[in-house]
Structure 1
């Protein structure tokens, strides 16, 4: 079967000369996580790479680096280890330990709710990791089931410290509602402050959800949920699930108190309380009132004959207290009836044990090797639909087809699946395969004449190059957009594909006007505008003084910084020395000599005598400087 190359350009890439990317694990709103091999230490790692369009956003970049610093300060078996953090070209990355498994969210999605014992096991690990963070002075601020990792080998770890901050008495933030709204504490909703007790509130909401299979507050809009967090009291889990013991009810109410002062101070205090009540949670629940007869061992009774009030049965038989009012026959009948009842109850219990054993075995087969077993969804992006369908079906999934636009994957190829490639899903479940319709065609916003920042905001659905083109313009003010170019370098039309590559042409204002300036000043003005200077041949000028600029001609159209402006410099007026023509020459000879120098010759000698008459007077006099084209008079006799 022939497959197309993977759509994700990161697959196969060597990051920072060390981490060989193998496959994609998951994708989030801020970054994508890949499985990679650390070639230096020869081990598998998870490498988290920030999305390219966020790499230049200082807010997201700072948050990304903060995650590395926060997690690196923690060394605890219940916290995901961070090994490295760095920058490769324009790509920020974070290297963590690789934990094959699922998240608590995926576990709840599969099983809806957990038993009290399972909940205690997971919550013990979560609180232990969180206690280490709180002890190190770190507030997580984004606790939710998605950030609790359940490894295949049984380890439970807390991850994703992307919103973590150093803890103080009140850690304030201008972005108070960072994190997931379903787990935000009342003080974060109302005042935008967070400390260790805000994490405890989120833990309480998670505890409620694990025990009941649902979150305590739901609503159609985030603000509805936020309002409930700020004004309502979280109900007890047992009101939704009667199997929840009272100890866990009390723990949920303690952790989710609206007043932070009424909650545990930190995760360590809540963990200690959880471990105090854990034995009673795991203890089998017994009826409150016993109906068993009082049993007395034979050798515990006083010696002597039996009285009418106490009956002692022989050795090896049960011993019971009986009331003497019943006759001997009635006693025998009552004991026989009681024994028969116990035998019937024993049969039912035995049958029930067999049934539960069979169910457990069947459930284990179903989820371990049968249709309900979890399997990894293959990444079929960029495959043709028929090939992708076969790959998914070979892994035991049912396939449903759908279509969606994709700015990267060509039309007709598979752009992805739901669940995504690399995620865990039950064999036999349905995987939706999306076939690309190609990119959406969007109307091009009119940004000509806008300042650059406003134009970039308006072009948010496209990929606008960070490096724009600059151009001199007398029409547009400096900083305004002159044109928008496509990938081919030509101006774009009225409709453009989403995420198309665009380049802005920005005005740097008009060309400097250097006409009439001394040549030194002209050169300085052009160099200050980042323009090169060229020269044409100097010219005579009656109007422009010598060594001043007659004209400045752009070498290119349009003109951009670095281009050349060609200067023409004045040589001043065009003056010629008047020759001496009265040295025995004829008028005709004098005329010829003067006209050769572009002078205009006038004379009082008639034309028919010029060949014979010797000139005797000229004006202006010989040796004077005159402009070419000036009039020279040659007369006979003065």
Structure 2
């Protein structure tokens, strides 16, 4: 710890440093500037890529993770998969590796704020803005699922909101933190007995009970996030964590119209199905959920209602349409 080093010692090694102690240090070619955020197993710095002269975000994982060989191997493998995800709504991963006993991940630095900060500042969003953000997050999740990556921790804090490109697209959403450590932790014995990965307000029932998960657990979590975007609060409000876990496991999804009577009934129906207790009763993909949400809200259906996962056919009078996952971003 910082206070335990004798006076006159040099700067702490990255493996022994506390968050914030590394400000100004260089690690693996990145000059760490200041802490952007921190969690139980990682801290994220704003940093300068000294090789290319660009600003990046560098995630440093807890030192004990680097000492677990099984985790290290999974980290390298899953980092390569994450770096291969070329999608306009996924924060690009530039680099990953180990330096001075610390595993690190370098990714694009997104200027803006996260959805958590947006909701805290503005409260409930309009249905139109909710759909705009949700369709971008859903598109990113489905792209990850196509590569057999399940996020497992979809929450407002993992959705970054940057300035959009034009009045029709006033915000650009990026999904971040694909849980490279989360899946690995659960498989390497680095989580305690009974502990699961995920944030309590948005965690799917199968994660709580320890059953196998697939992309449908992200459908559930996205449903919880959409509920909060529309109402200003998560679907289940309980006094303690155990009661909250019980609610996710056993209580029926709340009716969003009890908190916002102005919403059409179709919005509530879409959310109830997305947050069904059994994965098989949910939508098969995140874009399928958002298509139903958009239709229920009375928004222009566009390409989503026609079937986001359908095969793409060339237009007879123009170039081929974008692939299915990109249509919500590049088409109205």
Output the TM-score relative to the length of structure 2.
Answer: 0.74
Q: Secondary structure at the match of 2:128?
A: helix
How far did 1:56 drift?
2.7
- What residue in structure 2 maps to residue 552 of structure 1? none
CA distance in 1, matches of 2:19, 2:270: 48
How far did 1:121 drift?
1.0
- What residue in structure 2 maps to residue 255 of structure 1? 274
- What residue in structure 2 maps to residue 197 of structure 1? 216
- What residue in structure 2 maps to residue 12 of structure 1? 24
Q: Let me know the Cα RMSD of the aligned residues.
A: 2.8
How far did 1:188 drift?
2.2
How far did 1:247 drift?
2.5
1:247–1:281 Cα contact (<8 Å) kept: no
Check 1:66–1:146 CA distance in 2 against 1; reply closer, same or farther (3 A cut).
Answer: farther
2:133–2:172 Cα contact (<8 Å) kept: no
Check 1:106–1:66 CA distance in 2 against 1; reply closer, same or farther (3 A cut).
Answer: farther
2:81–2:147 Cα contact (<8 Å) kept: no
CA distance in 2, matches of 1:228, 1:145: 20
- What residue in structure 2 maps to residue 148 of structure 1? 159
CA distance in 2, matches of 1:8, 1:181: 27
Q: Match for 1:157 among 149, 171, 174?
A: 174
Check 1:20–1:183 CA distance in 2 against 1; reply closer, same or farther (3 A cut).
Answer: same
Where do residues 463-474 of structure 1 align in structure 2 (5 Å cutoff)?
A: none
How far did 1:190 drift?
2.8
| Per-residue deviation, residues 16-57 of structure 1 (Å, max 9, x unmatched) | 2x2122222222221111111212222111111123455435
CA distance in 1, matches of 2:148, 2:246: 29
Q: Does 1:119 align with 2:130?
A: yes
- What residue in structure 1 maps to residue 310 of structure 2? none
**Going by fraction, where is helix more abundant, 1 or 2?**
2
Check 1:102–1:66 CA distance in 2 against 1; reply closer, same or farther (3 A cut).
Answer: farther
Check 1:58–1:151 CA distance in 2 against 1; reply closer, same or farther (3 A cut).
Answer: farther
Q: Match for 2:109 among 98, 119, 123?
A: 98
Output the TM-score relative to the length of structure 1.
Answer: 0.40
CA distance in 1, matches of 2:96, 2:265: 45
**Going by fraction, where is strand more abundant, 1 or 2?**
1
How far did 1:120 drift?
0.8
Q: Match for 1:216 among 235, 240, 250?
A: 235
2:131–2:290 Cα contact (<8 Å) kept: no
How far did 1:226 drift?
1.2
CA distance in 2, matches of 1:182, 1:70: 28
CA distance in 2, matches of 1:45, 1:68: 16
Higher RCO, Cα 8 Å, sep 6+: 2
How far did 1:14 drift?
1.8
How far did 1:185 drift?
1.5
CA distance in 2, matches of 1:175, 1:199: 21
How far did 1:191 drift?
4.3
Structure 2: runs of 5 or more not aligned: 1-10, 12-17, 165-170, 185-190, 302-332
| Per-residue deviation, residues 519-567 of structure 1 (Å, max 9, x unmatched) | xxxxxxxxxxxxxxxxxxxxxxxxxxxxxxxxxxxxxxxxxxxxxxxxx
